Structure 1
Amino acid sequence: MSITNLERFLPEGTLPFLKTWFGEHIIHIKITRKRQSKLGDYRKMPDGSHQITVNGTLQPELFFFVLTHELAHLLAFQEFGYRISPHGQEWKQTFRMMLVGSISVYANDLKPIILKFAKAPKANFMSSPDLVKYFHIEDCEDESLYIEDLADGDLFIYRNERYSLDGKRKKNYLCTNLENTKKYIFRPLARVEKIS
């Protein structure tokens, strides 16, 4: 997929950044359906080209953020070699510079969140509560909320199964599946539907 074909997934003003980052690299961009496990993926192909996948259901600014994350892998490997850790200091440094350098494409209310994240980039998008909450704004019309908003003993539905919230364990939450009575750990920003 060429850079210009990506325009419909991206916010305005991103193409100059992408053209610079893509450089002379041969990059195959694959737009995928929504995946629960990840938003994007990077891998170097046996022929020396690069493949990046990004969920096509993402909001434009999040799509660009994820694409930037994946391109940071390519650029970090190119600059520092393939022996570096995929989400190590070299990747963090590269991703930070890319985020700060392209901050102008993000909405004004998102810029401070991106800049805060860029100070110490994380490998997993879900580890930034501010970003997760920002990109779920449009979902607020439904009945879902974050598990951290519930109280001990509250009942909720997650992926069509009913649970009770037993309590907080360090950073996460211990819950009981009401169908099979097994205990499960939930992250604070899991989206759930409270049962009244």
Structure 2
Amino acid sequence: MTAHFLQKYLPENSLPYLQQWLGQHPIQILISRERSSKLGDYRRMPDHSHQITINSTLPPELFFFVLTHEMAHFFAFQKFGYRIRPHGREWKEEFAKMLMDSLSVYSKDLQPVILQFSKSPKASFAASTGLVKYFHTDNGEEGNFVETLKKGTIFCYRQENYKMETKLKKNYLCTRLSTGKKYVFKPLAKVKKLS
């Protein structure tokens, strides 16, 4: 498969890496509309071909990162068979190697974040504080990360107002003002500070 149709989604200098990785492999790459539940995915199809989908709305460096993540699934399964865990040791090793090989594709300020991430790749982009902070993505809203708010701060999230109550072990307990119900927020949820 040719990688040229992806060029408009990719950072500069990334195409040679994709061409090398794709080679003559039967991988179909589809560009998807934005999905809130995932940035990309990999599937082995019933006819034994392979399909990767990537959200079209991602910034180029994140698009390339997610595509690398999904291609690492393909290479891990090719090398070790389909009985391995999808985000197990074999996938982590493949992903880390691919990230290190293509490190020069990323901007200078993102390279240390990618280096740190490659030491122990996570299954989810959202599990990497460095990556989430770099790309400022969570729910598409502009504003502050929940972890930066002080106790008592009122903020808006998805058109509802909340009050910051307290920090739990990793997350934050907040109260929805309209109902008085308590909700747990992840530290890197993006919210709009109101007071």
TM-score by length of 1: 0.93
For 1:154-193, list aligned pairs within 5 A: 154-193=153-192
Does structure 2 conserve the Cα–Cα contact (< 8 Å) formed by 1:117 and 1:128? yes
DSSP 3-state at the match of 2:167: strand
DSSP 3-state at the match of 2:94: helix
Does structure 1 conserve the Cα–Cα contact (< 8 Å) formed by 2:142 and 2:190? no
Aligned pair count?
A: 192
In the other structure, the counterpart of 1:94 is 94
Does structure 2 conserve the Cα–Cα contact (< 8 Å) formed by 1:168 and 1:174? yes
In the other structure, the counterpart of 2:70 is 70
DSSP 3-state at the match of 2:165: strand
Write out per-residue CA displacement over residues 7-31 of structure 1, whole angstroms, 9 at most, x where no aligned residue.
0000111111112211222112121
Shift in Å at residue 182 of structure 1?
Answer: 2.0
Percent identical: 59
Does structure 1 conserve the Cα–Cα contact (< 8 Å) formed by 2:2 and 2:19? no
Please tell me the residue identity of whatever aligns with 2:165. D
Q: 1:15 to 1:143 in 2, by over 3 A?
A: closer
For 1:1-196, list aligned pairs within 5 A: 2-136=2-136, 144-196=143-195
Ranges of 4+ aligned residues in structure 1 off by more than 3 Å: none
Q: 1:103 to 1:143 in 2, by over 3 A?
A: closer
Does structure 2 conserve the Cα–Cα contact (< 8 Å) formed by 1:164 and 1:178? yes
CA distance in 2, matches of 1:103, 1:143: 28
Aligned-pair Cα RMSD in Å: 1.5
CA distance in 2, matches of 1:167, 1:42: 38
Flag structure 1 segments of 5+ consecutive residues without an equivalent.
none
Does structure 2 conserve the Cα–Cα contact (< 8 Å) formed by 1:143 and 1:194? no
